[in-house]
Structure 1
Amino acid sequence: MTWRGPTYRTVDGERIDGAWCHVWQRSRWDAEYHLDDLIVFADGAVRCQDRTDLAGLKKLLTSGRISVTRPGAPALPDEPSKWRSRHGEPLTPEGFLSEVADKIEELNGRPTTGQRCWEAIRRYQQEPEERNRVLLRDAYLAVPPHRRIYVLGDMDLQDRPLRILLTDLGEAVDGDGPVVTADMHQESLDYFRRGDEGVAREQERRAVQYADDPSGPGQSAVISHQTVFPQGWPEALGLFVLRNDYPAQIAFAGGTYPSVLHGYWALSAADAADRRLIQEAPSGREAHDLGGRAVQRADWPAIRLAVMAGLLRAKFTQHPELAGVLLSTGDATISYTGFSDSPFWRDAPDSRGRNWMGRLLELVRSELLAELSLGGHRDPGSSTVAWKSTRSQI
Structure 2
Amino acid sequence: MTWRGPTYRMVDGERIDGAWCHVWRRYRPDGEYYPEDLIVFADGAITCGEGTDLAGLGRMLETGRLAVTRPDGPPLPDEPSKWASRHGEPLTPEGFLLDVADRIEELNERPTAGQRCREAIRCFQQEQTESNRELLRAAYLAVPAHLRIYVLGDMDRQDRPLRILLTDIGERVDGDGPVVTAQMHQDVLDYFDRGDQGVQRERERRAVQHSDDPSGPGRPALVSHETVYPRGWPEEPGLFMLRNDFPARIEFTGECYASVLHGYWATAAADDADRSRIKDAASGREARDLGGQVKHRSDWPSVRLAVMAGLLRAKFTQHPELAQVLASTGDARISYTGLWDSPFWRDESGGRGRNWVGRLLELTRSELAARQ
TM-score range, shorter chain: over 0.9
Aligned to 1:339: 339
* 1:381 corresponds to: none
SS at structure 2 position matched to 1:343 = coil
Q: What is the rounded CA distance, in whole Å, between the counterparts of 1:210 and 1:126 in structure 2?
A: 30
Equivalent position of 1:248 in the other structure? 248
The answer (yes or no) to whether the contact 1:5–1:19 under 8 Å persists in 2 is yes
Task: Please report the TM-score for the alignment, with normalisation by the length of structure 1.
Answer: 0.89
Alpha-carbon distance change, 216 to 30 in structure 1, aligned in 2, over 3 angstroms: same
User: Match of 2:23, SS?
Assistant: strand
Indicate the residue corresponding to 1:132 in structure 2: 132
Equivalent position of 1:62 in the other structure: 62
Question: How do residues 121-200 of structure 1 correspond to structure 2 at under 5 angstroms?
Answer: 121-200=121-200
Structure 1 gap ranges (5+): 373-394
* Aligned ranges 1:32-71 → 2 under 5 Å: 32-71=32-71
Tell me the residue number matched to 1:72.
72
Give the aligned partner of residue 385 of structure 1. Answer: none
Instruction: Confirm or deny: 8 A CA contact 1:39 1:48 kept in the other structure.
Output: yes
Q: In the TM superposition, what is the alpha-carbon distance from 1:303 to its structure 2 partner?
A: 1.9
| 2:363 paired residue number | 363
The corresponding residue for 1:28 is: 28
Look up the match of 1:383. Answer: none
Query: Is the Cα contact below 8 Å between 1:44 and 1:54 reproduced in 2?
Result: yes
CA deviation vs aligned residue, 1:331-383 (integer Å, no higher than 9, x gap): 111111112222211113355411110101111111112222xxxxxxxxxxx
Q: CA deviation at 1:137?
A: 1.4
Q: CA deviation at 1:184?
A: 1.4
Question: 1:88-110 CA distances to partner (integer Å, 9 max, x unpaired)?
Answer: 11111111122222222222332
Q: Please name the residue that 2:284 is paired with.
A: 284
| In 2, Cα distance between equivalents of 1:209 and 1:258 | 44
Q: State the Cα distance separating 1:47 from its structure 2 match.
A: 2.9
Q: Pairwise mapping of residues 235-274 of structure 1 onto structure 2 (< 5 A)?
A: 235-274=235-274
Note closer, same or farther for the CA distance 1:201–1:289 as it changes in structure 2 (3 Å cut).
same
TM-superposed CA distance for 1:323, in Å, is: 1.2
User: 1:216 is aligned with what amino acid?
Assistant: G
For residues 175-211 of structure 1, the C-alpha deviation after alignment (integer angstroms, 9 at most, x for no partner) is 2222222221111111111111111111111111111
Instruction: Kindly indicate whether the alpha-carbon contact (under 8 Å) linking 2:269 and 2:295 is maintained by their aligned counterparts in 1.
Output: yes
Q: What is the count of residue pairs matched by the alignment?
A: 372
Match for 1:67: what amino acid? A
1:12-60 CA-to-partner distances (Å, cap 9, x unmatched) read: 5554433222221221275221222223233333332333333332222
Q: 1:65 to 1:124 in 2, by over 3 A?
A: same
Flag the 1:146–1:347 CA change in 2: closer, same or farther, 3 A.
Answer: same
Q: Deviations over 1:312-334 (max 9, x none)?
A: 11111111111111112121111
The alpha-carbon distance between structure 1 residues 157 and 240, as it changes in their structure 2 partners (threshold 3 A), is same
Please state how far the C-alpha of 1:291 moved relative to its aligned partner: 2.3
1:201-350 equivalences in 2 (<5 Å)? 201-350=201-350
For 1:275 and 1:98, locate their aligned partners in 2 and report how far apart those are by CA, in whole Å: 66
Structure 1 pair 13–311 and aligned structure 2 pair: CA distance change class (3 A): closer
- What SS does structure 2 have at the residue aligned with 1:317? helix
Cα root mean square deviation, aligned: 1.9
Cα gap change, 1:51/1:354 in structure 2, threshold over 3 Å: closer, same or farther? closer
Distance 1:303 1:17, change over 3 A: closer
Sequence identity (%): 74
Q: Could you list the per-position Cα deviations for residues 126-182 of structure 1 after superposition, in whole angstroms to 9, with x for gaps in the alignment?
A: 112222222211211111111110111111111111111111112221122222222
* CA-CA distance at 1:249 after TM superposition: 0.8
User: Residues 27 and 34 of structure 1 are in contact (CA less than 8 Å); yes or no, is this contact kept in structure 2?
Assistant: no
Amino acid at match of 1:363: L
Kept in 1, the 8 Å contact 2:245–2:260? The answer is yes
Contact 1:237–1:325 (CA under 8 A) maintained in structure 2: no
Distance 1:284 1:27 in 2: 59
What SS class does the counterpart of residue 100 from structure 1 fall into?
helix
Look up the equivalent residue of 2:243 and give its one-letter code.
R
114-123 or 96-105, larger mean C-alpha shift: 96-105
Whether the aligned pair in 1 keeps the contact of 2:29 and 2:65 (CA below 8 Å) is no
Change (3 A) 1:182 1:48: same
Residues 65 and 29 of structure 1: is their aligned pair in 2 closer, same or farther, counting only changes over 3 Å?
closer
> Relative to 1, partners in 2 of residues 1:343 and 1:199: Cα closer, same or farther, differing over 3 Å?
same
Alpha-carbon distance in 1 for matches of 2:278, 2:48: 59
* Distance change >3 Å, CA 214–CA 279, structure 1 → 2: same
Match of 1:86 in 2: 86
Distance 2:242 2:349 in 1: 20
Relative distance call for 1:182 and 1:332 in structure 2 (3 A) is same
